[in-house]
């Protein structure tokens, strides 16, 4: 998503620049340039800066989401859901549940 926003912002900024140059050259009416240049410039800059900010903040988001037990919140190993104690409890609960079904 950040890469898409940066690319979209640059494309819109380039389009606004082309619109301005075309207006100065007389290929596009000046009224059209006056109406659309500033909104395009603002939208392109906003999209570019949003993508840049998201790219810079992504490592902090990964640190916040880094493995914590869903029951107690302690740090856990990578790609795990529970800490060791709660994993053991969950496995025992699952075994008890499946044994009563037979």
Considering only residues 36 and 69, tell me which one the structure prediction assigns the higher pLDDT.
Answer: 36
Supply the mean pLDDT for the chain.
Answer: 90
Task: Give mean pLDDT, residues 10-29.
Answer: 96
Q: Alpha carbon 88 to chain centroid distance?
A: 35
Q: Give, in order, the Cα–Cα distances in Å from 97 to each of 84, 93, 94, 101, 102.
A: 20, 6, 5, 7, 9
In this prediction, residue 69 carries a pLDDT of: 85
- Render pLDDT for 59-92 as a digit per residue (tens, 0 to 9): 887 776 778 888 888 888 888 888 999 999 999 9
Residue-level pLDDT at 43: 97
């Amino acid at each position: 998503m950040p890469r898409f926003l940066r690319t979209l912002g640059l494309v819109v900024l380039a389009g606004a620049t082309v619109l301005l140059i075309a207006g100065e050259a007389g290929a596009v009416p000046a009224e059209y340039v006056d109406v659309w240049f500033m909104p395009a410039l603002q939208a392109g800059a906003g999209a570019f800066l949003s993508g840049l900010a998201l790219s810079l903040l992504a490592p902090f988001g990964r640190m916040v989401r880094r493995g914590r037990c869903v029951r107690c919140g302690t740090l856990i190993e990578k790609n795990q859901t529970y800490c060791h104690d709660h994993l053991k409890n969950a496995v025992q609960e699952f075994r008890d549940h499946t044994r009563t079904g037979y």
